[in-house]
Amino acid sequence: MPPVPLSQVAVHLRPEDNIAVAARNLPEGSEIEFEGQVLTVPRRIGMGHKIALRPIHAGDPVLKYGQIIGFAGTDIAPGSWVHVHNVRADDFERDYAFCRDVPPPPKPAEPRYWMGFDRGDGRYGTRNYVAIISTVNCSASTSKYIAERIRNRGLLDAYPNVDGIVPIVHKQGCAMQYGGPDHLQLERTLAGFAKHANVAAYILVGLGCETGQATHLIENQGLGLIPLNGQRKMPTVLSIQECGGIAKTVEAGIRAVAETLPRVNDVRRVKLPASHLILGTNCGGSDGNSGVTANPALGVATDLLVARGGTSILAETPEIYGAEHLLTRRAISREVGEKLVERIKWWEWYTKVFGAEINNNPSPGNKEGGLTTIYEKSLGAIAKGGSTALMDVLHYAQPVKTRGFVVMDTPGYDPVSMTGIVAGGANVLVFTTGRGSVFGCKPAPSIKVATNTPLYEHMIDDMDINAGVVLEGTPVEEVGRQIFEEILAVTSGKKTKSELAGVGEEEFAPWQIGPTL
């Protein structure tokens, strides 16, 4: 058989790249035509993995997306598999070139709308939940019992406009420095869920003796419930020790929630502009095609939203590492660009404190899917941020006030990252995956985008959109528009696959920075 043209079996992203990404499995002995030469594959190369197109000498950079993803650890012949066995993640200097390539503001786009909940105070919800927020792990079970008893007693049956009761439980709240970084960050995260546009009402449940006292949370974060009459009211706080034990606290919690249900049910969806959407983006269980299909398609959706006055959040700072110089060039000001670099330097320090390396990420699953170094993963991950100017860089769970494309400093671990993004105000999430993440995060709906068709078909009950069609010839822009339309449909009430599966209550995972005392 004659050699197969490279374009039929792999994706060559940039002319200067010395590798291509396999769009399907390449068996041993495959012959591929590239630039008039025939490349013979000496050993099988899996879908999403890299094939060398030109000779790469030991120490030479390996290029993907026109950028450095690592350095050859040995001579690599054309046609060879390029992966962890012959590529190193050596340090290299990045030119931050602050603000050099700031894109012009997007051209005014045709207005688009969705049906959501106008809270009357500048918050716009895509869902209508009541939250049971645990201040400490010691009250986590009690908080879950309150939600379970409400469901089991059928109290929600009379309130069809209430999306559900969501217990916000976690493993923290004590054994931390009072007023220290972990205490304040946990409070900021809990407050972000209490104030979230998708939460119509909430109660706080604590043990009573914990470091993370509810009174401190309320005062420090300005928490309060705003009823329909506009009068500010302190939230309901239940203490297991004050109530007299778990059973009495559960009954008190049920009564408190039952009192709020009529008011929550009275809210109706109304027509809202896309400018009121705050999109949280994340990639998890990534593979070698994440940066080829799903992430750039999500970047197109980001641009479509930003062009209509909306906001898109890129996070996972350790998965920006090695690609941050492309974002600093898009920073709207040097100050914004330097905020990102400061976070990158902090992560270098933070990992060294514990004797770790940022290149410990990619995970084993990422590597099995074709990702070789953190540089490669990061270059593909930042594609979710589209092409508009970087407007701001925020700390973990910091409320997002700036419109446009922003970065939030979070770890790369998906539940922790998404928890911070939602706490910051994201009212809808899009999660890309190449290996098959099933992530959901109540109270924000999570749209799952598969990077390849075999995954989409294999996990059809968990994937909402198939970006793998890009490998079959569908333009990235078309898939990006599909994602944008799905965002509008989901924010208007369409259930995501994770919502239909009931996923999202166990994924609340605040970031703990320091020691447990």
Look at residue 363 in the predicted model and tell me its pLDDT: 87
Q: Is 359 helix (H, G, I), strand (E, B) or coil?
A: helix
Quickly list DSSP for 282-299. EE-S--TTTTTTHHHHHH
The last residue of a domain, from among 266, 287, 305: 266
Answer whether residue 17 is part of any domain.
yes
How far is residue 140's CA from residue 179's CA, in Å, rounded to a whole number?
A: 22
72 with 135, same domain?
Answer: no
What letter does residue 402 receive in the DSSP assignment? -
Q: Using the predicted structure, report yes or no on whether residue 459 has a pLDDT greater than 70.
A: yes
Q: Using the predicted structure, report yes or no on whether residue 435 has a pLDDT greater than 50.
A: yes
Answer whether residue 69 is part of any domain.
yes
Q: Identify the CA nearest to 381 among candidates 390, 391, 371, 389.
A: 371
Please report how the helices 246-265 and 140-152 are oriented relative to each other, as an axis angle in degrees rounded to 10: 60
354 with 329, same domain?
Answer: yes
How would you classify the pairing of strands 270-273 and 113-118?
antiparallel
Look at residue 232 in the predicted model and tell me its pLDDT: 63
Q: What's the average model confidence in pLDDT over 433-458?
A: 97
313 with 250, same domain?
Answer: no
How far is residue 416's CA from residue 11's CA, in Å, rounded to a whole number?
A: 32
Q: What CATH code is carried by the domain that includes residue 163?
A: 3.40.1400
Q: Using the predicted structure, report yes or no on whether residue 229 has a pLDDT greater than 60.
A: no
Look at residue 225 in the predicted model and tell me its pLDDT: 58
329 with 242, same domain?
Answer: no
Answer whether residue 103 is part of any domain.
no
245 with 367, same domain?
Answer: no
Answer whether residue 112 is part of any domain.
no
The last residue of a domain, from among 219, 238, 266: 266
| 308-323 pLDDT, tens digit each | 999 999 999 999 999 9
Beta strands in 376-466 (DSSP E): 390-394, 404-408, 428-433, 446-450, 465-466
Q: For the chain, give the percent of residues with pLDDT over 90.
A: 95
Look at residue 224 in the predicted model and tell me its pLDDT: 72
| 88-110 pLDDT, tens digit each | 999 999 999 999 999 999 988 99
Which domain covers residue 213, as residue numbers? 129-266
Answer whether residue 516 is part of any domain.
no
Residue 445 contacts residue 126 (beta carbons within 8 Å): yes
Residue 397 contacts residue 185 (beta carbons within 8 Å): yes
Answer whether residue 95 is part of any domain.
no
Total number of domains constituting the chain: 3
The rounded mean pLDDT for the chain is: 96
373 with 447, same domain?
Answer: yes
Query: At 478, is the pLDDT very low, low, confident or very high (cuts 50, 70, 90)?
Result: very high
Look at residue 429 in the predicted model and tell me its pLDDT: 98
Residues sharing a CB contact under 8 Å with residue 105, sequence separation 6 or more, in sequence order = 389
Q: Is 366 helix (H, G, I), strand (E, B) or coil?
A: helix
The last residue of a domain, from among 244, 266, 288: 266
Residue 228's alpha-carbon distances to 85, 245, 267, 323, in angstroms, are: 62, 33, 10, 47
Answer whether residue 13 is part of any domain.
yes
Q: What's the average model confidence in pLDDT over 71-85?
A: 98
* First-last CA distance in the chain: 67
Q: What's the average model confidence in pLDDT over 277-296?
A: 97
Quickly list DSSP for 182-193. HHHHHHHHHHHH
257 with 287, same domain?
Answer: no
How far is residue 293's CA from residue 285's CA, in Å, rounded to a whole number?
A: 14
287 with 422, same domain?
Answer: yes
Query: At 151, is the pLDDT very low, low, confident or very high (cuts 50, 70, 90)?
Result: very high
Look at residue 357 in the predicted model and tell me its pLDDT: 82
How far is residue 509's CA from residue 223's CA, in Å, rounded to a whole number?
A: 21
Q: Identify the CA nearest to 429 among candidates 444, 450, 409.
A: 444
Q: For the chain, give the percent of residues with pLDDT over 70.
A: 98
Query: At 388, is the pLDDT very low, low, confident or very high (cuts 50, 70, 90)?
Result: very high
How far is residue 21's CA from residue 139's CA, in Å, rounded to a whole number?
A: 49
Look at residue 116 in the predicted model and tell me its pLDDT: 98
Where does residue 40 rank: exposed (0-12), middle (13-18), buried (19+ CB within 10 A)? middle
Cis before 362 (ω within 30)? yes
Other Cβ atoms within 10 Å of 67 Cβ, number: 21
Look at residue 90 in the predicted model and tell me its pLDDT: 93
Residue 209 contacts residue 241 (beta carbons within 8 Å): yes
Look at residue 503 in the predicted model and tell me its pLDDT: 97
139 with 220, same domain?
Answer: yes
476 with 384, same domain?
Answer: yes
Cis before 475 (ω within 30)? no
Q: Using the predicted structure, report yes or no on whether residue 169 has a pLDDT greater than 70.
A: yes
Q: What CATH code is carried by the domain that includes residue 61?
A: 2.30.130.110
In DSSP terms, which residues pair with 165 in a beta bridge?
130
Residues sharing a CB contact under 8 Å with residue 316, sequence separation 6 or more, in sequence order = 282, 283, 381, 410, 411, 412, 417
Look at residue 234 in the predicted model and tell me its pLDDT: 85
285 with 424, same domain?
Answer: yes
Other Cβ atoms within 10 Å of 231 Cβ, number: 9
Q: What's the average model confidence in pLDDT over 270-295?
A: 97
How far is residue 373's CA from residue 317's CA, in Å, rounded to a whole number?
A: 15
Answer whether residue 517 is part of any domain.
no
285 with 262, same domain?
Answer: no
